Amino acid sequence: MIDTRERPVDMALHFAVERFLVDEAALLDDGHFHAWLALMAPEVRYWMPAQANRSRKDAAKRIDDGGSLPYFDETWEHLRQRVARLDTGIAWAEEPPSRTRRFVSNFRITHAEDGLIRAKTNLLLHRSRRENNVQQFVASRDDRLRPEGESFLIVARTIVLDATTIPAQNLSVFF
């Protein structure tokens, strides 16, 4: 559903945000994790809530913002520690590193009530490791962006996987 309190952005801003998010995906796919981390605001919340199967009448309760343990609920410091761990060469879940390809699409970009820019997108993340270990993650993302010079900082990212169970042995990649 479209939030009527949010106004669409003009074409130039829409293109700038779209380009930013596509370039962000390329940084991750190319393993430039420190450059990716620099796109995060100091107060970032990187959140992936668990999703539950619910009946149609309880569909609004699929995602729990309170009681359920999320897959991720990280701050900038948590993200920094994850990036630093990848630098050690002993992060077992990423040794050898995953090969990833991110497809970001269905850009819906608006001015949010809080003065930030809201970018709702779909994400397909293809991940392969070793010879036969292949996963695909399909998710929606809801980002809050703050203009920063000629670019943006990610203030908040909510990732909601379509699957209610994780099709992988770990979640060591960034979404």
Task: Tell me the pLDDT tens digit for each residue of 98-153.
Answer: 999 999 999 999 999 899 999 999 999 999 988 888 999 999 999 999 999 999 99
Q: Which residues of 59-95 are buried (b: 16+ CB within 10 A; e: fewer)?
A: eeeeeeeeeeeebbebebeebeebeeebeeeeeeebe
List domains and CATH numbers for the chain: 7-52+68-161 (3.10.450.50)
* Alpha carbon distance 74, 171 (integer Å): 13
- The answer to whether 120 and 14 are in contact (CB under 8 A) is no
Identity of residue 26? A
The whole-angstrom separation of Cα 83 and Cα 79 is 6
Polymer length of the chain = 175
Does residue 2 surpass a pLDDT of 90? no
